[in-house]
Structure 1
Amino acid sequence: MSEPIERPYILHMFTATPQMSPFDVNMAADAGYQVIVPYCGVEAGMVANLTQDAIFSRGPKGVSRTGIFIGGRDVMQAADMLDIARKAMVPPFEVSVFADPSGSYTTAAALVALVERHLGKQHGMELGGKRVLILGGTGAVGRIAAAMAASCGADVTIASHHDRARALAVAAEINQRFGIVTNGISTATPGELRGALADAEIVLATAVAGVQVISSEDLAYARRLLIAADVNAVPPEGIAGVNVMNDGKPIDGVPNAGAIGIGALAIGNVKYQVEHRLFMQMRTGGKPVYLGFPQAFDEARAVAAGLG
């Protein structure tokens, strides 16, 4: 009598973009998924049908070995697609779903969790009430970092190097979507940037890779700075004096001698662990889970706490 064939672990990956991120494909494979299928050009209106195609073909036992990942570049669209997929489930035909568009949920989670950790460890403070300036804040990582920091009670300002109107539009969008309060400003000119730096206690640089958003001359105006964190791993440094390897190292040239920097590789290390853990939760948790940026933030806090 032949033994029953063990069902493989299958991951269906949806993205509105022309291609799925190779980074996320690698992460899924390393988490143990054996069949990984990308679906490109997926619009929100297609998600319910794709989800139900994925769940009904394998039976109640097979769905436990099936997952859905939502990528893309639009953080709001990914959140919508996660909600649509969840509502399309028909228990007991229900699978886990994980959204992380452009890695923004896990990167932002790692960024804010490390800031929280160092703020408590080196300054004995909490994020609540702190003035947080997010440079490049209109992008994917900046938007989610703003939502996370504001949810912790921080006074968050989203900055755009284009104009104030764009920053205000993004702030209004995430405020309405997530029930938070953020503000928007322009840092298009050196004067605007330096004025913003003068009031900031926490600076998060989430601009595009390979662009320096704060020079050493600009840092001289950051008189209240406690922590500066930069997600850019491509030279030049996004924040002068904050090396990619920094993980709480003092920053030269800042009026406050206690100011410290957190670099991209320190953030990336936590981001990697968070994404791996969330993929593993999907595959081995034993019950369906729905993973968006709140769950990524919870996991990042756990990883950061374990760093000692």
Structure 2
Amino acid sequence: MEIRTVLHMFDPMPHVSPFDINMAVDAGFDAIFPYPNVTLEQVHGLVQDAIFSRGPSGVKRTGLFIGGRDLGLALSMLEAARKAMVPPFEISVLADPSGGFTTAAALVACVEKQLAEKHGLTLEGQHAIVFGGTGPVGIATGVIASLAGADVTLVDPFNIDTALEKAKEYNARCGSRLKGTYASSDADKARLIAHADLVFCTAKAGIQVLNADVLGDATQLKVAGDVNAVPPLGIEGIKAKHCGEPLQHAVHAPGAVGIGALAVGDVKYKLQNALLRYLLSSEKPVFLDFREAFQRARELV
């Protein structure tokens, strides 16, 4: 009898995300087991329970998904899982807390593609602003763009200390060069966007971050991407399905184009599905985070 495929889903939150469970089902796993309220200290023992019970052939048909909302904790849990492996008893692991890694990878890859197609440029040296930059998707977006060569500033809506702390934490953890600031008013946003080449909007759903008046202050903006699919959308003038359409309100940056949430979401869905499937298809155990996600996203766009 063929050994069934199994996905164990660890989450430090009270509930494992239904979105991620649905994605695992669509990726073709036979059996899916969610584990809520998992602590970092518990990861080692749970992983070894999973690997020793199936044998060398069974571990190749076993995967682990790490969720939650804290990117740093997810990366620490991924590393703890890696250290718990005892060759040849090793399973593949994907960390994607709050969809942060796959959504961010899809967003940056989409922006990078439009930047190349519409302006003939790479991310290297581009001034990028991440609104909603202290949330999971915002931090991951900033890290990915920074490691690809962009000059990135994370923007918190209220508190500069929060932005500076997140930038410092993830620079130390990931090797990025993030900056931090805040923008609590349209005047703050206009000041930032006036010198931005790229804008990533990763704020909470249903909140308009950039209105037409603020966009009117952009002078060198080239590409803006928004992951908010819940009205009102995050950037006025960008529709959910936009993928390279002119950004109409950026009147002083006539070459600027926008990317909407559904265009990003299409890549994100394909990306997460591909990474989940890769847990079972790889001949050797793999440990996947934002780095592999961005590499795959570049291929998908």
Q: Deviations over 1:17-59 (max 9, x none)?
A: 1111111111111111111000000011100000000000111
Work out the number of aligned pairs and report it. 300
Amino acid paired to 1:281: Y
* Cα distance in 1, alignment partners of residues 221 and 269 from structure 2: 28
Q: How much has 1:195 moved relative to structure 2?
A: 0.4
Q: How much has 1:179 moved relative to structure 2?
A: 1.5
Tell me which residue corresponds to 2:271. 274
Counterpart selection for 2:93 from 91, 97, 100? 97
Tell me which residue corresponds to 1:219. 215
Does residue 206 in structure 1 map to residue 198 in structure 2?
Answer: no
**Aligned ranges 1:8-19 → 2 under 5 Å:** 8-19=4-15
Secondary structure of the 1:238 match is: coil
Secondary structure of the 1:253 match is: coil
| Runs of 5+ unmatched residues, structure 2 | none
Does residue 289 in structure 1 map to residue 280 in structure 2?
Answer: no
Tell me which residue corresponds to 1:140. 136
Does residue 229 in structure 1 map to residue 225 in structure 2?
Answer: yes
* Cα distance in 2, alignment partners of residues 59 and 180 from structure 1: 39
Q: How much has 1:261 moved relative to structure 2?
A: 0.2
Quick check: 286-295 or 112-121, which moved more? Answer: 286-295
Q: How much has 1:178 moved relative to structure 2?
A: 1.1
Tell me which residue corresponds to 1:192. 188
Q: TM-score, normalised by structure 2?
A: 0.98
Quick check: 171-180 or 82-91, which moved more? Answer: 171-180
Counterpart selection for 1:265 from 262, 267, 270? 262
**Aligned ranges 1:53-202 → 2 under 5 Å:** 53-202=49-198
* Cα distance in 1, alignment partners of residues 140 and 241 from structure 2: 23
Q: How much has 1:287 moved relative to structure 2?
A: 2.3
* Cα distance in 1, alignment partners of residues 9 and 299 from structure 2: 26
* Cα distance in 2, alignment partners of residues 303 and 246 from structure 1: 17
Q: How much has 1:185 moved relative to structure 2?
A: 1.0
* Cα distance in 1, alignment partners of residues 49 and 193 from structure 2: 51
Tell me which residue corresponds to 2:42. 46
Counterpart selection for 1:299 from 286, 296, 301? 296
* Cα distance in 2, alignment partners of residues 215 and 116 from structure 1: 23
Secondary structure of the 1:232 match is: coil
Q: How much has 1:189 moved relative to structure 2?
A: 1.9
Secondary structure of the 2:181 match is: strand
Amino acid paired to 1:42: V
Quick check: 142-151 or 286-295, which moved more? Answer: 286-295
* Cα distance in 2, alignment partners of residues 36 and 153 from structure 1: 38
Q: Deviations over 1:198-236 (max 9, x none)?
A: 011100000000000001111101111101100000000
* Cα distance in 2, alignment partners of residues 69 and 166 from structure 1: 28
* Cα distance in 1, alignment partners of residues 183 and 224 from structure 2: 16
Amino acid paired to 1:201: D
Amino acid paired to 2:159: D
Aligned-residue RMSD, C-alpha:
0.8
Does residue 238 in structure 1 map to residue 234 in structure 2?
Answer: yes
Q: How much has 1:285 moved relative to structure 2?
A: 2.0
* Cα distance in 1, alignment partners of residues 260 and 189 from structure 2: 20
* Cα distance in 2, alignment partners of residues 237 and 190 from structure 1: 16
Q: How much has 1:90 moved relative to structure 2?
A: 0.2
Amino acid paired to 2:68: G
